[in-house]
Amino acid sequence: MLKIQNLKKSFGGVVATNDVTLDFPEGSLSAIIGPNGAGKTTFFNLITGAFSPDSGAILLKGENIAGLKAPEIARKGIGRAFQIAQIFPTLTVYEAIVATVMAHRHQHSAMAPRFPLASAHDRAQEVLELVGMQARAQTLSRNLSHGDQKLLDIALALALKPQVLLLDEPTAGMGPEERWQMMDTVRGMWEREKITVIFIEHDMDIVFKVAQRICVLSYGAVLAEGTPDEIRSHPEVIKAYLGSDHGLQH
């Protein structure tokens, strides 16, 4: 589904992404972990077109999308939710989702009517159900809790029917119970939509329980890649990131 080949990006003399090669199969659920400054968000920025790579390829179903602009990459099927939620604060949850669907379809002229197109309405209802926000459909986005704003950001990405969904720290700023609720929602969405999901996360308990595969970045390069059990027991990962106590658990 998504293949990253020899991806490189530098900012001045700082190498942010160093020859990264990774494969995310269709329908997989993967986590990206690593210390602060490891290049995780830069990696997402390269995939989604916020940055252009210096070299390398980003293959979506065999097509190299490296260097394309962000809107074009979104239309080709890559969605993203951000560490800091990107929402429409003056719109209700329902209106924000409908507006996103219609803008994505280049139906800007249709955003003025009081009654949106039926297909946009249908997709908004689907997404509300998918993320469990039906009861908050008429709530102004700015009045949502922090966790619900993060959930709305994911809903807006889902509204575009992506083939690949990138989640940048979906549980950031949440308490323990709220974090698990968020990841239960993410996992349920992944199981229902059958899309490829890649998420950045610092909570190792969540990572090892939720992800099928884990990629560890360090100084912009891939330190290790494998199943949760393989990563938990990987000597270099334990030394560089997890610590010996975590590596010995389970």
Pairing of strands 63-64, 55-60: antiparallel
Confidence tier at 41 by pLDDT (50, 70, 90): very high
Task: Inform me whether the pLDDT recorded for 85 exceeds 50.
Answer: yes
- In DSSP notation, 36-82 reads TTSSHHHHHHHHHTSS--SEEEEEETTEE-TT--HHHHHHHTEEEE-
pLDDT digits (tens, 9 = 90+) for 197-237: 999 999 999 999 999 999 999 999 999 999 999 999 899 88
Mean of the pLDDT values across residues 97-125?
A: 70
Tell me the pLDDT tens digit for each residue of 141-193.
Answer: 999 998 899 999 999 988 888 999 999 999 988 888 999 999 999 999 999 88
Spell out the CATH class of 2-84+163-248. alpha beta
Q: What is the pLDDT of residue 239?
A: 84
* Mean residue pLDDT across the chain: 88
pLDDT score, position 116: 56
* pLDDT computed for residue 242 by the predictor: 66
Contact 40, 200 (CB under 8 A): yes
Hunting for tokens 């602060």 — which residue is that?
36
Q: Are strands 196-200 and 164-168 parallel, antiparallel or unpaired?
A: parallel
pLDDT of amino acid 110? 46
Domain boundary assignment for the chain: 2-84+163-248, 88-143
Q: Can you read off the two tokens belonging to residue 26?
A: 């269709």
pLDDT of residue 105: 65
Backbone angles phi, psi at 126, to 5 degrees: -60, -45
Q: Which residue has the higher pLDDT, 75 or 49?
A: 49
Count the helices and strands in the chain (H runs, E runs): 10, 10
**CB environment 29-44: b (16+ within 10 A), e (fewer):** bbbbbbeeebbbbbbb
pTM beyond 0.85: yes
Element (H, E) at 31: strand 29-33
**Does residue 119 sit in helix, strand or coil?**
helix
Three-class DSSP category at 133: coil
